Structure formats: C-alpha cells, structure tokens
Amino acid sequence: MADIAAQLQDRVRAAIADRRPLRLHGGDSKAFYGNPVQGQPLDLSGHRGIISHEPTELVLTARAGTPLLEIEQRLAEQGQMLSFEPPHFGGGATIGGAVASGLGGPRRPWGGAPRDQVLGTRVLDGQGRILGFGGQVMKNVAGYDVSRLMAGSLGTLGILLEVTLKVLPAPPLSRTLILEMDREAAVSRMRELARQPVPLSGACHLDGRLYLRLSGSEASVNAWAGRIGGEMAAAHNTFWQRLRDQQLDFFQRDRPLWRLSLAAATPRLACEQEVLTDWAGAQRWVYTDLDADAVRAEIAQHQGHAQLFRNAGTLDCFQRLTPLMLTLHRRLRQRFDPHGILNPGRIFDD
C-alpha cells in the first residue's frame, strides 16, 4: 500500500526537462502487446493499494499499480467481481494495466470491457499535472468522458494513478457445457443462443468443441443447461481462465497471432485458417499464411478491426487509422502529452 504519485510526477517532469520519453509499465504482463516503445522504463507497480471498496455502493477505487489478483480477491470476499474478466496473462497484471489496455476476457459480450465499468480516474498527464475525471458514481455526464477515453489508450494520453470502477455481484452459480460440433455449426448455435435470454457468460469454439458457460441463479442455469444439452465440464473454471490468459495450447505457437473483432455472425473469412472463436463469434484468434495487408483488407471489407496481438515482428500491431482519424488522434495526444514523452509510438506514430 503506497502512494508514490509525487515521485511519479517528478519522473515525468524530469523526462520533460531531459526530453527523454518514458516506457510505462505496471506488472509488464502485456509487454508483448502493442508497438514497441523506446524510452526509459517507468515502473508504476509501486503505486498500489485499494483506496476504497464499498460493497453496497458497488464501487471500488484503487491505485493503478494494485495487482488484479488482490482486487479480485477483495471483491470475491464480498461476493462481487470485475464483470469484464480482465486477462492476467503471465501474472502480475495490475488494474492500471487492465484499464490502459482496454482488454476484456471471455465475458466481454455480456459483462463489457474495462471502459464500460470505469467511473472515474486520476491521471498524471504529459505536463506533469494530476487531473481528476469522472467520479465515484454510476451516472455522471459532467464534462467529456475522459475516464473512458483513458481505457485502451495504452498510456499514450496519461499515466493512470487511480481508477474507480463499477463492480457487480458475482453470479451464484456457473456451469460449463461442451458440445461436439464443427466451427460453422458452433457459430450459428452461439448466435441462436445469444438472441435468447440465456444466462451466457462465455461462448467459445476450439478444435471441434463448443464451450458454453452459463452464469446466474441456480434455477436459471440448470434450466438452460437442460435445454441446451451437451456434456457438463467438471473443472469448468480452468478452461475459461486458460482462455482468458492465453495459456491454451492454441496460443503457444511461435508465429503472428491475429485478433479479429467482427460482427459476431460473420461467416468464416479466407484469412481464418486456424481459428479460435470467442465472444460468441465476435472475437477470433487467427493464424494465417496470408500477408498482413491481405488480412487487413479483408477485415476492413467487413467493417471489423484486426490487430497483430503477438509476434508482430516489425509489423504495425494495429489497424491503420484513416487520415481523418489519425489527425484527431494526434491532436488529442498532443493535448494530453505535448512533449510526446508518454509511451510514444505505442499505438500510432506521433
């Protein structure tokens, strides 16, 4: 439990004076993700501690370096959870990193992404100022929603010092069903279920098997499990955690891993040569022999987004922004970080 905001502020001021960019990291569990940053490492994991958690307000505030595990344990003691199921990857992940990366886990289509649960932030900007946005309440439309803008900005708009999140009651029961079927049948089954009020909290297809996770009241989960059929998985949590943290064998290949974000019902695309389908069809992890431009062109046709998530080599991790979008991104970044010292180049070139 330590507040090192003042030291971090000094480091930012020194970086401005020396014109030396900073490479921000918490647990550094997502170092593989995003474009490489040339800069002095700035470790944020020392700025840690849960500042407040009021179970009956459904709100938690923590310093950004607080380990995700610590937060999840504290919430679990009160029967609550982070609904976006953030990945921990190799371990050591912090809440600041979870929000800054904007990544949601298998529950994403139903539980939202970090941006959906962020209520407020305290931010150290690229001028060394500490600014507060949003607050501790669920509904707040005073001023622009800078807190949600921070989510997914990978530290390029400011250093997250504190985040306030909406937390939710954990469902009393979760069960996983496994149904043997091919990929096309699985996607149509997932879509059919997603259209009904099924208590889904995960829907993934891999290697001829459809995995469905149901979470909710006992009555509801059992009734739907009976209707859906399939085989009930024993240690159901293991699969979803290994999926969330990319520990499944599928993720262990030493070649570029694509993350495709598409309309869930999109039929299999040419680039989907080896594929793990998650989020009931809306997120696809893909290995392909096609070159990056071909993948991006195909995804753009379907108004989706493609990222090179792992092993990007020298390629740009992110989809190229349109010229107008890039102009707006650069202008925004310029406002938050006029000296260009915070994670320059992580998402786009300044």
For the segment 282-341, give every residue that binds another protein (CB under 8 A).
282-283, 302-305, 307, 318-319, 321-322, 324-325, 328-329, 331-332, 334-336
| Nearest distance in Å: CB 191, another protein | 5
The residue assigned the tokens 């891999």 is 206
Query: What 3-state class would DSSP assign to 93?
Result: coil
Which of 169, 180, 207, 231 contacts another protein by CB under 8 A? 169
Q: Which is nearer to another protein, 2 or 325 (CB)?
A: 325
Q: Which is nearer to another protein, 174 or 261 (CB)?
A: 261
Asked whether position 74 contacts another protein by CB under 8 A, the answer is: no
Q: Which is nearer to another protein, 108 or 236 (CB)?
A: 108
| Nearest distance in Å: CB 19, another protein | 22
- Residue count at the site for another protein (CB under 8 A)? 85
The residue assigned the tokens 């991104």 is 329
Assign residue 207 a region (left: φ > 0; alpha: ψ between -120 and 50; beta: otherwise).
left
> Could you tell me which stretch among 20-28, 92-100, 137-145, 285-293 binds another protein (CB under 8 A)?
137-145
**In the beta sheet, which residues pair with residue 130?**
124
Which of 6, 19, 38, 139 contacts another protein by CB under 8 A? 139
Which of 69, 131, 185, 248 contacts another protein by CB under 8 A? 131
| Nearest distance in Å: CB 162, another protein | 12
Other beta carbons less than 10 A from residue 334's beta carbon? 13
Asked whether position 56 contacts another protein by CB under 8 A, the answer is: yes
How far apart are alpha carbons 276 and 298 in whole angstroms?
18
What's the N-to-C CA distance of the chain in angstroms?
35
How far apart are alpha carbons 107 and 102 in whole angstroms?
14
Query: What 3-state class would DSSP assign to 118?
Result: strand
Which of 97, 106, 112, 155 contacts another protein by CB under 8 A? 112
112: phi then psi, degrees, rounded to nearest 5 = 85, 180
Asked whether position 20 contacts another protein by CB under 8 A, the answer is: no
Q: How far lies 22's CA from each of 99, 162, 200, 231, 347, in Å? A: 19, 19, 41, 50, 14
Q: Which of residues 186-205 bind another protein (CB under 8 A)?
A: 191, 194-199
> Could you tell me which stretch among 91-99, 104-112, 229-237, 248-256 binds another protein (CB under 8 A)?
104-112
Residue 343's contacts (CB-CB under 8 Å, 6 or more residues apart) are 21, 22, 23, 24, 37, 39, 154, 155, 156
| Nearest distance in Å: CB 87, another protein | 13
Which of 9, 51, 92, 136 contacts another protein by CB under 8 A? 136
| Nearest distance in Å: CB 140, another protein | 4
DSSP label at residue 279: G
60: phi then psi, degrees, rounded to nearest 5 = -130, 135
Which of 90, 92, 132, 345 contacts another protein by CB under 8 A? 132
Q: Which of residues 237-266 bind another protein (CB under 8 A)?
A: 260-266
